[in-house]
């Protein structure tokens, strides 16, 4: 299968100071020149630069090269660059092979000699492999002009609005009964203290009414197939038991429901809701849902039907069943958000043991007009606190829980201190390790709250205990910390403790990640394509990230990323077409025995059985080139183009020799 006259060009990149001083580039060039079929070997400071690419193009034209090897960095970044250069010079882009002598050699090898030896091996392998490369061609496919957004918090809502405004159809899927996410629970937002509801509800209404947005609440994405530009998603609509078309949102059903003592998830279990409920007054859609586990009719098969009796619209429907919806979209934006760390296992902070220890989300609800205390900061006793402690870094910056900084806690804690001072006049003791306020107007806000008389103590709290130092403080809580700036151990008696818990990925976000084919990092956050230069895209084409599912961030950053994700998705769709994959499976009909083993292992349903010919056939549009069929095929008929046995074996042999 080799060309009659193979002419391989080999280019060794210095990558500035990244490869060259460690790897003896000249020695590698000399080595490469001696390899079979190598017509020319060169070195250059930056192969990815324009002059670097010109070097390749000129050699192809002038020396008649028909294969190209570049030894430089990881193919993740620059394989497309060099393939394009080859194509422009007139050879098939797949007549190119990259050897990674940076990540696989210079960066990870201490000894210069060893690094050079390894670089030589990798170059030899690439040269051996490229000889067996075959030309591959992709096709242009039309894209679906619609976008799926998964998760309806502020990130998902903003992505949906921005994408819908640019004229694309958007499906916004939210698993809860209403959109709004965490931001809907907040009272004020830092650093400008605008009311979260005031700035957010207009967006919720826009989402609900937008002609281009199909809002699917109380729904979950159960499967996603296809590829960039052509995804097929299956959405599960859980039964609300209330007809969305008939319901007027009057709320009588909730008043009449006799089951009233269910802890409200929205109010962080600080108040109760009914079995038929709408999570909060501004919910979108207004249509309530019936909790099937608590409703007397649905859970216990008892007679009740109070909601049904009093509903003038006749919207209650106990017979509703789960529904599945199949949609086709060109792009997907994942915005599954976060959850707060459960501080129960940090027993030294007493959460769950002492009633006056609150999480930050609980405290948000205490501050909110629609919360359990109608926005008054009150203890369980009904009295306002006289002294409040706020503890930073609960679960964050702690290798036993979450090693990272959760980014938002410092600022929301400072906001809490301000709210406590403003609403109750109580003394506030704020315990921090470092104040992190890198945002527009953030440091100014910190400074302002300092001036409001809040005690900022630099020291992580060791313990919250109900053992007082003085008898008169019996019944209060004592916060134990070291003021590290004065080296004074502090034992501060307080009435209320707020734990500034960190952020972690939302429950189920790993499932969504698997569904859309995006990997997660060690902490469970979804991984972007490139930390700096592609923070919104993912390695899977057509899948974009918005908001906290990618890592902790505040509202301004979330909104910015949401708009960016919408922009990325829109620019993909506006082009109108995408190229199909070239590195896909091929089943040789002459070898195929028709056993259909491959059909069972294919995760993308990309193989059909042609009963007429008695062979399996690959659907080139659906195939992702994962190689499962090729590994499973007992007769060796299935192979993945560009990863044929011959190509891989030649590569390995060159390394081992």
Among 225, 379, 460, 593, binds other proteins (CB under 8 A): 460
For residue 609, give every residue at least 6 positions away whose Cβ sits within 8 Å of its Cβ, in sequence order, or none: 594, 596, 599, 615, 616, 617
Give the interface segment with other proteins, choosing from 233-241, 475-483, 595-603, 649-657 (CB under 8 A): 475-483
Q: How far is the CB of 350 from other proteins (least distance, A)?
A: 8
Per CB under 8 A, which of residues 490..509 are in contact with other proteins? 490
Contact 70, 47 (CB under 8 A): yes
**In the complex with other proteins, which residue's Cβ is closer, 478 or 624?**
478
467 near other proteins, judged by CB under 8 A: yes
For residue 80, give every residue at least 6 positions away whose Cβ sits within 8 Å of its Cβ, in sequence order, or none: none
Strands, E, within 269-330: which ranges?
272-273, 276-277, 289-290, 323-329
**In the complex with other proteins, which residue's Cβ is closer, 156 or 502?**
502
Our CA dihedral for 625, 628, 629, 634, rounded to 10 degrees, sits at: 150
Q: If we measure between CA atoms, which residue out of 484, 479, 483, 482 comes closest to residue 497?
A: 479
Q: How far is the CB of 429 from other proteins (least distance, A)?
A: 13
Among 225, 243, 482, 620, binds other proteins (CB under 8 A): 482
CA atoms 363, 368, 373, 376: torsion sign: positive
474 near other proteins, judged by CB under 8 A: yes
Among 23, 391, 480, 498, binds other proteins (CB under 8 A): 480
Among 49, 344, 374, 484, binds other proteins (CB under 8 A): 484
Q: What is the token pair recorded at 519?
A: 């990997």
Give the interface segment with other proteins, choosing from 66-74, 170-178, 462-470, 565-573 (CB under 8 A): 462-470
397 near other proteins, judged by CB under 8 A: yes
Q: How far is the CB of 443 from other proteins (least distance, A)?
A: 21
> Which residue, chain included where needed, has tokens 């230069």?
533
Among 400, 451, 522, 657, binds other proteins (CB under 8 A): 400
Contact 150, 332 (CB under 8 A): yes
**In the complex with other proteins, which residue's Cβ is closer, 317 or 482?**
482
399 near other proteins, judged by CB under 8 A: yes
**In the complex with other proteins, which residue's Cβ is closer, 447 or 486?**
486
Q: How far is the CB of 344 from other proteins (least distance, A)?
A: 11
481 near other proteins, judged by CB under 8 A: yes
Q: If we measure between CA atoms, which residue out of 573, 578, 567 comes closest to residue 144?
A: 573
39 near other proteins, judged by CB under 8 A: no
Angle at 194 between CA 190 and CA 198, to 5 degrees: 135
> Which residue, chain included where needed, has tokens 């939302």?
506
Q: How far is the CB of 473 from other proteins (least distance, A)?
A: 11
Among 320, 370, 465, 619, binds other proteins (CB under 8 A): 465
342 near other proteins, judged by CB under 8 A: no
286 near other proteins, judged by CB under 8 A: no
Q: What is the token pair recorded at 375?
A: 């926005």
Angle at 241 between CA 238 and CA 247, to 5 degrees: 115
**In the complex with other proteins, which residue's Cβ is closer, 202 or 489?**
489
Give the interface segment with other proteins, choosing from 160-168, 228-236, 281-289, 479-487 (CB under 8 A): 479-487
Contact 10, 32 (CB under 8 A): yes
Contact 390, 428 (CB under 8 A): yes
Please tell me the count of residues contacting other proteins according to CB under 8 A. 27
Site string for other proteins, 375-394 (x = CB under 8 A): ------------------x-
**In the complex with other proteins, which residue's Cβ is closer, 209 or 344?**
344
Q: How far is the CB of 551 from other proteins (least distance, A)?
A: 20
CA 5/CA 229 separation, integer angstroms = 40
520 near other proteins, judged by CB under 8 A: no
Among 223, 348, 381, 571, binds other proteins (CB under 8 A): 348
Q: How do 427-432 and 387-394 pair as beta strands?
A: parallel
Q: How do 140-142 and 577-579 pair as beta strands?
A: antiparallel
37, with CB counted inside 10 A (0-12, 13-18, 19+), is middle
Q: How far is the CB of 490 from other proteins (least distance, A)?
A: 8
Cross-strand partners of 284? none
Secondary structure string (H, E, C) spanning 597-609: HHHHHCCCCCEEE
**In the complex with other proteins, which residue's Cβ is closer, 413 or 509?**
413
Q: How far is the CB of 402 from other proteins (least distance, A)?
A: 10
Give the interface segment with other proteins, choosing from 44-52, 201-209, 483-491, 575-583 (CB under 8 A): 483-491
**In the complex with other proteins, which residue's Cβ is closer, 480 or 607?**
480
For residue 81, give every residue at least 6 positions away whose Cβ sits within 8 Å of its Cβ, in sequence order, or none: 48, 53
Give the relative orientation of helices 645-656 and 112-130 as an angle to the nearest 10 degrees.
150
Site string for other proteins, 418-457 (x = CB under 8 A): ---------------x------------------------
Among 384, 459, 547, 551, binds other proteins (CB under 8 A): 459
Contact 308, 316 (CB under 8 A): yes
CA 392/CA 479 separation, integer angstroms = 13
Residues that bind other proteins (CB under 8 A): 347-348, 353, 393, 397-400, 433, 458-463, 465-467, 474, 480-484, 487, 489-490
């Amino acid at each position: 299968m080799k060309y009659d006259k193979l002419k391989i060009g080999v280019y060794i990149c210095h990558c500035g100071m990244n490869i060259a001083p460690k790897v003896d580039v000249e020695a590698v060039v000399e080595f490469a020149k001696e390899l079979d079929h190598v017509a020319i070997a060169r070195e250059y400071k930056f192969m990815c630069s324009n002059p670097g690419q010109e070097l390749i193009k000129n050699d192809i034209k002038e020396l008649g090269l028909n294969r190209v090897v570049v030894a430089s960095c990881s193919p993740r970044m620059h394989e497309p660059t060099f393939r394009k250069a080859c194509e422009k010079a007139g050879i098939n882009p797949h007549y190119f092979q990259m050897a990674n002598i940076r990540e696989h050699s210079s960066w990870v090898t201490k000894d210069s000699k060893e690094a050079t030896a390894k670089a030589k091996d990798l170059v030899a392998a690439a040269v051996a492999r490229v000889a067996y490369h075959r030309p591959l061609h992709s096709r242009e496919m039309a894209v679906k002009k619609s976008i799926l957004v998964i998760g309806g918090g502020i990130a998902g809502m903003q992505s949906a609005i921005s994408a819908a405004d640019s004229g694309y159809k958007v499906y916004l899927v939210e698993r809860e009964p209403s959109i709004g996410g965490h931001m809907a629970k907040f009272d004020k937002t830092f650093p400008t203290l605008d009311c979260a509801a005031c700035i957010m509800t207009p967006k919720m209404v826009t989402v609900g009414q937008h002609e281009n947005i199909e809002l699917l609440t109380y729904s979950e994405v159960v499967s996603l197939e296809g590829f960039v530009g052509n995804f097929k998603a299956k959405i599960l609509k859980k039964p609300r038991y209330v007809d969305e078309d008939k319901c007027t949102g009057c709320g009588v059903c909730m008043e009449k429901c006799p089951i009233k003592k269910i802890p409200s998830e929205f109010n962080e279990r600080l108040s109760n809701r009914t079995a038929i409920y709408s999570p909060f007054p501004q919910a979108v859609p207004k249509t309530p849902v019936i909790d099937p586990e608590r409703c007397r009719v649905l859970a216990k098969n008892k007679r009740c039907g109070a909601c049904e009796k009093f509903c003038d619209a006749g919207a209650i429907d106990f017979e509703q069943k789960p529904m599945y919806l199949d949609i086709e979209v060109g792009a997907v934006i994942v915005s599954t958000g976060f959850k707060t760390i459960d501080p129960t296992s940090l027993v030294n902070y007493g959460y769950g043991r002492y009633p006056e220890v609150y999480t930050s989300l609980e405290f948000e609800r205490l501050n909110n007009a629609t919360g359990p205390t109608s926005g008054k900061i009150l203890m369980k006793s009904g009295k306002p606190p006289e002294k409040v402690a706020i503890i930073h870094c609960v679960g964050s910056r702690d290798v036993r829980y979450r090693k990272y900084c959760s980014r938002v806690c410092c600022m929301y804690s400072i906001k809490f201190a301000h709210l406590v001072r403003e609403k109750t006049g109580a003394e506030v003791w704020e315990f921090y390790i470092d104040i992190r306020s890198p945002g527009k107007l953030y440091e100014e806000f910190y400074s302002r709250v300092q001036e409001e008389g809040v005690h900022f103590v630099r020291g992580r709290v060791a313990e919250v205990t109900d053992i007082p130092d003085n008898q008169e403080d019996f019944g209060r809580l004592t916060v134990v910390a070291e003021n590290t700036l004065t080296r004074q151990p502090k034992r501060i008696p307080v009435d209320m403790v707020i734990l500034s818990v960190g952020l972690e990925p939302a429950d189920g976000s790993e499932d969504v990640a698997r569904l859309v084919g995006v990997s997660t990092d060690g902490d469970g956050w979804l991984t972007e394509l490139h930390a700096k230069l592609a923070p919104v895209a993912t390695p899977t084409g057509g899948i974009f990230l918005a908001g906290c599912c990618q890592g902790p961030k505040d509202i301004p950053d979330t909104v910015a990323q949401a708009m960016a994700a919408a922009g990325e998705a829109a620019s993909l769709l506006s082009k109108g077409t995408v190229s199909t994959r070239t590195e896909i499976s091929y089943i040789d009909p002459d070898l195929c025995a028709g056993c259909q083993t491959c059909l069972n292992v294919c995760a993308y349903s990309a193989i059909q059985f042609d009963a007429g010919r008695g062979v399996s056939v690959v659907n080139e549009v659906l195939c992702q080139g994962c190689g499962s069929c090729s590994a499973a095929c007992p007769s060796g008929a299935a192979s993945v183009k560009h990863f044929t046995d011959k190509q891989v074996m030649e590569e390995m042999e060159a390394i081992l020799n």
